[in-house]
Amino acid sequence: MTSLRFCMVTTFYPPYNFGGDGIGVQRLARAVAKAGHEVTVIHDVDAYGALTDHRPEAEPELDGIEVVSLRSDLGIVSALLTQQTGRPVVNRKRIRRLFEQGRFDVINFHNVSLVGGPGILAEGDAVKVYTAHEHWLVCPTHVLWRHKRELCTGRECLRCSLHYRRPPQLWRHTGYLDRQLAHVDAFIAKSRFSREKHMEFGFSRDMEVMPYFLPERAASDAAPGGPSPHPRPFFLFVGRLEAIKGLQDVIPAFGEYRDADLLIAGDGEYADALRALAEGIDRVRFLGRVAPGELRRYYEHALALIVPSICYETFGIILIEAFREGTPVVARRIGPFPEILETCPAGALFSNSEELLSALRGLQSDAETRDTLGRVAREGFEKHWSEEAVLPQYFDIVRRAAERAGKRGVAAALAQEPELSREHIS
C-alpha cells in the first residue's frame, strides 16, 4: 500500500472541543493513521477560547498524527474576523505555509466556521473533501433551530442570528460561499436526512453519505464492565444538557412512570432548569459528567437509552454508542433517528409522551424482546457503524474524488485499500 498525506482541517479538536464533531474528526484521523497514512490536523485554539475560559491540557496523539494548534495574539478577535469575513484573516499566511510544506495528497475540511470560513477552501493543492458535521453550509447558527425556539422551515437568518447574539454574516447573502465551494471535489453528509436538509435549504452540490463510526474496544477493555451502577432498573440519557436535547419532555414522564428511574449523564447550560423541572420526582437522578470508562457500565445495565432531541441532528452518535454496548434506544421520531432505526431496528420511536411511556413499558416488561433488541443493536453496530465498516467508505469517496480531480496517483493509492462492499454505499 502507498502511504498518502492527509490533512484534517477543523475548528475544534480534542481536547479543544465541545461536541461530537471534534471527536468524530479525531476518530477519523486515528483510523486513517492506523491504515498506514500520515495525518496532520489543523485546528484553532483561538476559536475554542472565544467560547470558553476553560484551558484543557493537550492530549498525546497516535504515531503518524501531527496536531497543529493555531493561536494568535488577537484571541477572540481572530475568530470574530473569520466569522464576519468568511476568510482566515489572521491565520491565512500560516495555513498557506502549512499546506505548502505538508504537500498533502488529501485535505479534508470539517467544521471550518472559525478556522477559516469558506475562504480556507481555496487554499492548498490536493484532493479536497468537505464533511458536513453540522448544517453550517446552509445555516449561520449551524443547527436549523430558528430563533432558538423552533425547527427552521424557512430562512429568517438575519433575525435568527440576532436571537443567537451572533453578528450577521453578510457574505452569506452574496455568491461568495458558492464560489468557494467550487474548490471542493466531494462533499459528505452524515445521514440521508442531513443530505436532504442541505438540498431543501438550497445546497446545490452532490453529497455522499457516510455515517460516523466508533472504534472497537481494545481487547483489554472487551470484558463486561461489572455490576449495575444503580440499585433500581433505569433508563439512561447521555449528552449535553441543552434545551434542544429535549429532556424537558422526558423528565415529567417519570413523574408518572414509577417502575424505573431516569439517569442523566452530562452537564450544560440548561442543567439548572432541568433540575428545577425534576424537583419532587425522586426517580430522576443527575449524574453530572461521567468518564467514558464508567459510562460503559451505565449503557450495559440500562433498559434503554432515551434520545429525545427536538432539533435536526445530522446523525446521532449517541445511538451507535448504545448499539456498541448492546443497548436498545428510544428516540424521538425526528431527523436522522428514524433512518438509523430503519437500518438497525433495535429500539422504538416516539412523537409524544404517550408513545414514550408505551415504549418504556414495553421494553421493561418484556425481557426477551429487550435481549433480542440488544443483540440486533450489537450486530447492527458491527455491520454499519464500526470502524471496519465505515473506513472503506471514506477511502472510496476520496478515491472517486481524486479521479474526478485528475489526481491519478492518489486514486491509484486508494484503490489498494480493502474492497468496499457495495451494500454500505448510500
Residue type, position 366, single letter:
D
How far is the C-alpha of 111 from the C-alpha of 98, rounded, in Å? 18
- Given the C-alpha cell 464492565, which residue does it identify? 225
HSE-CB at 286 with a 13 A cutoff on CA atoms is 19
**What local confidence, expressed as pLDDT, does residue 425 receive?**
38
Give every strand in the sheet of 347-350, ordered side by side.
Answer: 284-288, 261-265, 234-238, 305-307, 329-332, 347-350
- Given the C-alpha cell 474576523, which residue does it identify? 81
Show the beta-strand stretches assigned E in 4-60.
5-9, 38-44
Beta bridge partners of 330: 306, 348
How far is the C-alpha of 129 from the C-alpha of 137, rounded, in Å? 14
Whether residue 109 contacts residue 184, with contact meaning beta carbons closer than 8 Å, is answered with: yes
Phi and psi angles of residue 234, each rounded to the nearest 5 degrees, phi first:
-150, 150
**What local confidence, expressed as pLDDT, does residue 422 receive?**
39
How far is the C-alpha of 228 from the C-alpha of 140, rounded, in Å? 43
SS3 182: coil
Residue 197 CB burial class (10 angstroms; 0-12, 13-18, ≥19)? buried
Output the pTM of the full model: 0.93
**What local confidence, expressed as pLDDT, does residue 216 receive?**
78
Beta bridge partners of 145: 151
Per-residue confidence in pLDDT tens, the chain, 426 aa: 689 999 999 999 999 998 788 999 999 999 999 999 999 999 999 999 988 888 888 778 888 999 999 999 999 999 999 999 999 999 999 999 999 999 999 999 999 999 999 999 999 999 999 999 999 999 999 999 999 999 999 999 999 999 999 999 999 999 999 999 999 999 999 999 999 999 999 999 999 999 999 997 764 454 566 799 999 999 999 999 999 999 999 999 999 999 999 999 999 999 999 999 999 999 999 999 998 889 999 999 999 999 999 999 999 999 999 999 999 999 999 999 999 999 999 999 999 999 999 999 999 999 999 999 999 999 999 999 999 999 999 999 999 999 999 999 999 999 986 654 434 433
pLDDT in tens, 378-411: 999 999 999 999 999 999 999 999 999 999 999 9
End-to-end CA distance of the chain: 26
**What local confidence, expressed as pLDDT, does residue 20 receive?**
82
pLDDT in tens, 277-335: 999 999 999 999 998 889 999 999 999 999 999 999 999 999 999 999 999 999 999 99
Residue 159 CB burial class (10 angstroms; 0-12, 13-18, ≥19)? exposed
How far is the C-alpha of 8 from the C-alpha of 137, rounded, in Å? 18
